A and B are shown apart, each in its own frame.
Chain A
Amino acid sequence: MYHYQAADRQLLLDRANQFKDQTRRFLNGELSDEAFRPLRLQNGLYFQRQAPMLRIAVPYGLMNTAQVRQIAAISRRFDKGYTHVSTRQNFQLNWPSLEYVPEILEELAQVDMHCIQTSGNCIRNTTTDALAGVAHDEVIDPRPICELIRQWSTLHPEFAYLPRKFKMAVSGSANDRAAIYAHDIGIALREQAGEIGCRILVGGGLGRTPVIGTELAPWIPVKDLLSYLEAILRVYNALGRRDNKYKARIKILVRAMGIDAFREAVDREWTGLKDGDYTLTSERLLALQESFTPPPYKTDLPITEMPVNPIFSRWLARNTHQHKQPGYRAVTVVLKGHGNAPGDVTADQLEFLADLADDLSFGELRTSHEQNIVLADVEERALYRLWESLQRHGLAGAHAGSLTDLISCPGGDFCSLANARSLPVAEAIHQRFDDADYLFDLGPLDLNISGCMNACGHHHIGHIGILGVDKKGKEFFQVSIGGRQGNGTAIGKILGPSFSAIDIPEVIEKLLDTYIGNRWTEETFIETYDRIGITPFKEAVYANTRH
């Protein structure tokens, strides 16, 4: 992974000191709530219902074990001994006290971590495929480009006060696993005649106006990527709406101008920026790529006969992924189960996972967009041993990619924006659908829950999406189906009138029964939906109900 240099470290120390001073000025009254707000947000600090929430950046989801252990230690010392993995691959602390935040930042800086730009109207943490560098279908490793973007966007002086937040994702594979169609800018890396190029999508995003990104440029040479991104951001910063925060994202600007006029404006800006200081030299690209050279894989591994054990086999089929390197698999550790919020992980579990990674996966871990942890480089012959240890720590749930590997925002229990509490719904679903055989038989199914239309739980792109809505002060849930992420990204269709929380497990059961009753052999939920359409699902759910 990228190793911090002296300048990166100095920047974190300076930033921690700067925030310490800003916090001091806020606490002694020199800075008003309003003046402090953008400053704390750009350091990932929210004031929430229960306590402040601090979001720790995990650049493109990649961490070493020292960093993971430090997060565990911080969560124990300054919080309640657990943390939460967000859909942007970051960690969140739900209960830190404001006066300790500067100290937390100092401790994070010791392991090259920070909270910079994890919130606020600025360029946020760039996300990517959790299988970057190891995926069997990868064309270009996206991590060097993510690192390039991290450096460019970190404390960029021009883009810290944008009309609204700005999110980017990079994919380097044939199959998009980074949701690039649902980002302000999505970048698909390509290769042609030995050259790397970037297909640029713009104006995607979920939130209250879900939009699939549109192609802005089919091929930007990688050497010109930063000047091109700078041109896009400049046009957005100058022309994006600031009068209404719900219409301030770049997708609204692109839609209002039209993609062609927007492209012209970008090209005009780009003319002045192209071939300037931002041009990526081949030496710099090489240096970035060398930060992500493959670990010392063993090349002579014998073919492993997997032990016969039905529970292990199910886990193997669901939670491990084909690897570029023969003899290795990538492993998903699912952070969802009874009694804990999706994505929550305890300090003990983090330390255990760090030990496992040191032992079996070259000392690196990843957070995934699905709110799980990935160990990317495990020898096949070590998988059974790894699974046994995961079992001992309650982390061997074999439901990666299944119904109960659901994505959920923290919802109304923690978040001051939410209309509804998403966590009890997630828990009710876990309780209702806990039969491992049934879940395995259902096959891949994305269920995503958001507590409000800001869509942090990505409900629009779930095969089944659940959205918390407020009706005259009471919480209800709207259900949509048919959404999906990846190459064919689509927004789900709303099924009909919303339901109370207590009805949700039954509604889902009816949707699943409809799928099972209609599916052809080997057909997944989404394939059946595509073939038979929304009507049979609608009829099953609303038959004999009063609304």
Chain B
Amino acid sequence: MPTHVTSNKAAPISADTEHCGLAANDAVNPSIPSLGEWLTQPNDSRLRVTTADDIGPLEGLIPSINYVEVDFLDPNDGRGFTLGRQLRDMGFTGELRATGAYAEDQLQYLHRCGFDSFLLPPKIDTETASELLRGISVTLQPSTFSERKVIFNER
């Protein structure tokens, strides 16, 4: 796995999330509340957001969440990368899953931005995904983490 040249911002978080909240093989799991729904009724430990959502209102509510699913609306829309890091910077330690229209060549960047769970794009198997996650073996800047166990859930 990647080695760090500079120190890592957050120490790798021990993953007890291996079986946590695996979504069904659909892009969107309707049983998981959307951000808007969750904010009006925050009684689920899971929620889903899209890359267009402002997660600012979650500040301070993080301890009650253990699963966030981020739906990427477009592979060229990089807001999801910032969103992942903002969530981790808020102290979120649960499972952070990327779903939707991200590209397989973004897996490593996503992982470094705090995503540790992926609903893989069509035609990408876990073996290919594992290789893509290892593409670059060194990093020149600290990132959220890069050694946490990764969960795949193939489409």
Taken residue by residue from 1 to 24, chain A's Cβ proximity to chain B (1 for < 8 Å, 0 otherwise) reads as: 000000110110011011000100
A34 CB to nearest B CB, Å: 9
Assess whether B25 is interfacial by the CB under 8 Å rule.
no
Of A151-159, A176-184, A306-314, A323-331, which stretch is located at the interface? Answer: A151-159
In the bound complex, residues from chain A placing their C-beta under 8 Å from that of B143 are 157-158
Name which of A209-217, A234-242, A397-405 contacts chain B. A234-242
Q: Kindly list chain A residues whose C-beta atoms are within 8 Å of the C-beta of B137.
A: 10, 14
Known: A14-B135, A39-B105, A237-B82. A156 touches B141 (CB 8 A): yes
Contact of A158 among B6, B7, B113 (CB under 8 A): B113
B78 touches A159 (CB 8 A): yes
Chain B, interface residues (CB within 8 Å), range: 20 to 34
- In the bound complex, residues from chain B placing their C-beta under 8 Å from that of A238 are 54, 79, 82-83, 86
| Nearest-Cβ distance from residue A284 to partner chain B, whole angstroms | 9
Which residue of chain A has the shortest Cβ distance to B3 in the bound complex? A7
Does residue B75 face the partner (Cβ distance < 8 Å to A)? yes
Chain B, interface SS category: loop
Judge whether A157 and B7 touch: CB under 8 Å: no
B9 touching A11, Cβ below 8 Å: no
- One of A271-279, A297-305, A529-537 at the interface: A271-279
B139 within 8 A of A: yes
Contacts A18-B135, A151-B140, A152-B141; A277 near B75 (Cβ below 8 A): no
Contacts of B106 in A (CB 8 A): 160-161
Question: For residue B7, which residue of chain A has the nearest CB?
Answer: A277
A38 within 8 A of B: yes
Cβ contacts A132-155/B at 8 Å (1 or 0 each):
000000000000000000011011
Q: Is B85 an interface residue (CB 8 A)?
A: yes
Interface assignment of B31: CB less than 8 Å from any CB of chain A:
no
- Cα A10 to Cα B77 with chains together (Å): 29
Q: In the complex, A158→B105 CA distance in Å? A: 14
Q: Please tell me if the beta carbons of A18 and B103 are within 8 angstroms of each other in the complex.
A: no
Contact A152 to B140, CB < 8 A, known contacts A159-B78, A160-B78, A234-B82: yes
Partner of A35, one of B8, B75, B109, B140: B75
Q: List chain A residues, Cβ under 8 A from B110.
A: 157
Query: Which of B82, B83, B112, B140 contacts A7 (CB under 8 A)?
Result: B140
C-alpha gap A11/B141 in the complex (Å): 12
What residues of A have a CB within 8 angstroms of the CB of B142 in the complex? 277-278
Cβ contact within 8 Å between B113 and A157: yes
CB contacts (< 8 Å) of A276 on chain B: these are: 9
Q: Are B136 and A18 in contact (CB under 8 A)?
A: yes
Indicate whether A225 reaches chain B with its CB closer than 8 angstroms.
no
In whole angstroms, what is the CA distance A123 to B89 when docked? 22
Task: Report A228-255 CB contacts with B as 1/0, cut-off 8 Å.
Answer: 0000001001100010000000000000
Is A121 an interface position by the 8 A CB rule? yes
Interface residues contributed by chain A, number (CB under 8 Å): 34
- Encoded as 1 (CB less than 8 Å from any A CB) or 0, chain B from 116 to 140 comes to 0000000000000000000111111
Distance of A238 Cα from B87 Cα, bound (Å): 13
A108 within 8 A of B: no
Across-interface contacts of A160 in B (CB, < 8 A): 78, 81, 106, 109
When distances are taken between beta carbons in the complex, the residues of chain B under 8 Å from A159 are 78, 81
Chain B 1-27 per-residue mask, 1 if CB under 8 angstroms from chain A, else 0: 000011111000000000000000000
Shortest CB-to-CB span from B21 to chain A, Å, is 24
Provide the A154-172 mask, 1 if CB < 8 A to any CB of B, else 0: 1111111111000000000
A7 to B140, CA, bound (A): 8
| CB closest residue in chain B, given A233 | B82
**Alpha-carbon separation in the docked complex, A151 to B142 (Å):** 11
Decide if B76 is an interface residue (CB 8 Å cutoff). yes
A521 to B145 Cα, complex, angstroms: 64
Residue from A8, A18, A155 having most chain B Cβ neighbours under 10 A? A155
Contact B103 A237 (CB under 8 A): no
Which chain A residues lie closer than 8 Å to B8 at the CB level?
Answer: 277
CA distance A10 to B137 in the complex (A): 8
A157 to B8, CA, bound (A): 14
Given A14-B135, A22-B105, A160-B81, also A7-B5 (CB < 8 A) = yes
> B141 contacts A151, CB within 8 Å?
yes
| Candidate in A161, A242, A272, A276 with the most chain B CB atoms within 10 angstroms | A161
Task: Point out the residues of chain A lying under 8 angstroms from B103, CB to CB.
Answer: 35, 38
- Bound form: Cα–Cα A360–B135 in Å: 42
CA distance A25 to B113 in the complex (A): 25
Q: Which of B53-86 contact A (CB under 8 A)?
A: 54, 75-79, 81-83, 85-86
Of all A-B residue pairs in the complex, the 6 with the closest CB atoms, nearest first, are: A161-B78, A157-B112, A157-B109, A277-B142, A14-B136, A158-B81
**Residues of chain A having any CB pair with chain B under 8 Å:** 7-8, 10-11, 14-15, 17-18, 22, 35, 38-39, 121, 151-152, 154-163, 234, 237-238, 242, 272-273, 276-278
Beyond the given A38-B75, A160-B81, A242-B77, please list 10 additional residue pairs across the A-B interface where CB-CB is below 8 A. A14-B137, A15-B136, A18-B135, A35-B75, A157-B143, A161-B75, A161-B77, A234-B82, A237-B82, A238-B82
Q: 13 A-B pairs, CB-CB below 8 angstroms?
A: A8-B140, A11-B140, A154-B140, A157-B112, A158-B78, A158-B109, A161-B75, A161-B77, A161-B81, A234-B86, A242-B79, A277-B9, A278-B142
Which B residues contact A (CB, under 8 angstroms)? 5-9, 54, 75-79, 81-83, 85-86, 89, 103, 105-106, 108-110, 112-113, 135-143
